[in-house]
């Protein structure tokens, strides 16, 4: 629990939420300012800022809750698909510093973009640079 965290306050029942799913480790509720009807947030019940900060077992629990919810959300909202994503860190647009996965219902022709639209332009990378990046990440994973 973090004292000034709005999502910890939801877990503790101090702030109301429209809960759609709960298990021992995770909670899911409707986004208060939805991008589409049925926009759901999935959070771990304990306070961790970013995905990187989650204990490994908890990362599995969060993914499992997302998995449990994708079909119910799509069916309830009659959506054609969903964008499932994390804003991971302030640079990526994360405003609430308690890790949360978004499930955003999508509809044919809804005018929204794919995840590929989130950066302004694509970097020009040589084969050597790509090889080096892949090697660096693989060496740390
Ligand atoms: P992010 O930019 O990924 O940090 O997204 C934070 C999300 O939390 C936004 O979509 C907000 O609409 C949502 N949000 C903020 N406060 C609440 C709240 N009290 N209940 C439900 N959703 C909230
Ligand atoms: Zn929190």
What mean pLDDT, rounded, does the chain reach?
Answer: 96
Helix (H) or strand (E) holding 103: strand 101-106
Query: Is 90 close to ligand 1, i.e. is its CB under 6 Å away?
Result: no
Query: Which of 48, 85, 95 for a ligand 1 pocket mutation test, highest count of atoms within 8 Å of Cβ?
Result: 95
3-state DSSP helix/strand/coil % of the chain, to nearest 5: 35, 20, 45
Query: Is 134 close to ligand 1, i.e. is its CB under 6 Å away?
Result: no
- 95-135 tens-digit pLDDT: 999 999 999 999 999 999 999 999 888 999 999 999 999 99
> Ligand 1, closest atom to CA 33?
12
User: Which token pair is 76?
Assistant: 């309830």
**pTM, entire model:** 0.96
**pLDDT greater than 90 at residue 39:** yes
Verify whether residue 100 is a known catalytic residue.
Answer: yes
Model pLDDT, residue 120: 85
> Ligand 1, closest atom to CA 15?
19
Average pLDDT over residues 27-53: 98
The C-alpha atoms of residue 12 and residue 56 are separated, in whole angstroms, by 23
Return the CATH number of the domain spanning residue range 6-140: 3.30.428.10
Structure confidence at residue 2 as a pLDDT band (50, 70, 90): confident
**pLDDT greater than 90 at residue 20:** yes
């Amino acid at each position: 629990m973090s004292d000034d965290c709005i999502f910890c306050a939801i877990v503790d029942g101090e702030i109301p939420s429209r809960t759609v799913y709960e298990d021992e480790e995770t909670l899911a509720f409707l986004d208060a300012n939805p991008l589409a009807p049925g926009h759901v947030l999935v959070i771990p019940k304990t306070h961790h800022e970013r995905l990187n900060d989650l204990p490994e077992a908890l990362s599995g629990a969060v993914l499992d809750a997302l998995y449990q919810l994708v079909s119910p959300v799509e069916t309830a909202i009659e959506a054609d698909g969903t964008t499932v994503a994390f804003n991971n860190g302030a640079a990526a647009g994360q405003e609430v510093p308690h890790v949360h996965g978004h499930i955003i219902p999508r509809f044919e022709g809804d005018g929204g973009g794919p995840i590929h639209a989130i950066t302004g332009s694509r970097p020009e990378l040589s084969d050597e640079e790509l090889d080096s990046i892949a090697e660096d990440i693989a060496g740390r994973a």
